[in-house]
Amino acid sequence: QMNFTGDQVLRVIAKDEKQLSLLRDLEGLKPQKVDFWRGPARPSLPVDMRVPFSELKDVKAYLASHDIACSVMIKDIQVLLDEEREAMAKSRR
């Protein structure tokens, strides 16, 4: 099983098309820096992106440098995955 310890999901509300475009630029970076859970669609809709722990600093710096506000939707993905797995095991028992 892949481990997602420290990975976070950031929620971004883009102010305008320009900011959406800057978010789309993130998708094309190599190696992949973000996994869009909700892709950049329109300013009225949130953008959710999973950021690997190793990329968190760069991505947050990128957002800050373009004045793109973000909040942390999921602080550590692996914690939720462990809870999910435990719940499945318990249910099976």
Partner 1 sequence: LERSTNSFSYSSYHTLEEIYSWIDNLVTENSNTVSKIHIGSSFENRSIIVLKFSTGGSNRSAIWIDTGIHSREWITHATGIWLAKKIVSEYGKDHALTKILKAMDIFLEIVTNPDGFAFTHSMNRLWRKNKSSRPGIFCIGVDLNRNWKSGFGGNGSNKNPCSDTYQGPSPQSEPEVLAIVNFISGHGNFKALISIHSYSQMIMFPYGYSLEPVPNHDELYSLAKDAVNALYKVHGIKYIFGSISTTLYTASGIMVDWAYDNGIKYAFSFELRDTGHYGFLLPAAQIIPTAEETWMAIQTIMKHALNHPY
The residue within the footprint of partner 1, chosen from 6, 13, 37, 53 (CB under 8 A), is 37
Sheet containing 8-12: give its strands across: 35-38, 47-51, 8-12, 70-74
Q: Which is nearer to partner 1, 3 or 64 (CB)?
A: 3
Using rule CB under 8 A, residue 13 touches partner 1: no
The residue within the footprint of partner 1, chosen from 6, 13, 43, 50 (CB under 8 A), is 50
CB of residue 65 to partner 1, shortest distance in Å: 25
For tokens 């550590």, name the residue.
Answer: 76
Decide if 78 contacts 6 (C-beta within 8 A). yes
